[in-house]
Structure formats: C-alpha cells, structure tokens
Amino acid sequence: MHTTPTEHRQRAIMKGHIAVNSVLRDWIKGYVTAVEIAMLSFDGAFLFMLPSGEIVLERVTQHNLQSLPPP
C-alpha cells in the first residue's frame, strides 16, 4: 500500500458514500419509471416498509383496510 491505513479507510468511506448515493438514485429512478408507465401507483411505490419487512400497501391490501390504522 502506498497510503497509511487511515488514508485508505478515508478513501474507502468516500467511495462508499458515492456508491450509496448511486444506488439510491437508481432505486428512485426505477420506481419513478414504474409509476410513469402505470405499473405502480405513486403511493404503492413510495410507501415505507414496516418493521416486519412488509410494505404498508401490502398490509392494507391483505387486510382489506379502507384507511391506515393509527400508528
């Protein structure tokens, strides 16, 4: 290695930040495209995941809820 372990770690962290941003951007672009072609509704694409790993839309559909339960 031509760098110290600390310098190497800092470079790796910077590359990781770039990678995370790229993955997030691609994920969002994919969902926006799915909404644009009417494959998903906007709410269905961007609702958050429950602690159980289930998407809120799945829970609402599965239990035939007319509105979301209180938090």
What is the reported pLDDT for 11?
Answer: 93
How many domains is the chain partitioned into structurally? 2
Mapped onto helix, strand or coil, the DSSP state of residue 1 is coil
Same domain, 30 and 47: no
Same domain, 34 and 50: no
Two tokens at 1?
Answer: 């290695």
Per-residue confidence band for 1, with pLDDT thresholds at 50, 70 and 90 = low
What is the reported pLDDT for 33?
Answer: 92
Q: What is the pTM of this model?
A: 0.53
Domain of 65?
41-71
Write out pLDDT tens, residues 6-62: 999 999 999 988 888 888 889 889 988 998 999 988 877 877 778 888 877 777 777
CA proximity to 60, closest of 51, 33, 50, 35:
50
pLDDT of 66 strictly over 80: no
Same domain, 47 and 33: no
Q: What is the total residue count of the chain? A: 71
Q: Which amino acid is at 57?
A: L
Question: Taking a C-beta distance cutoff of 8 angstroms, is the pair 29, 21 a contact?
Answer: no
Question: 37: which residues sit within 8 A by CB, 6+ positions away?
Answer: none
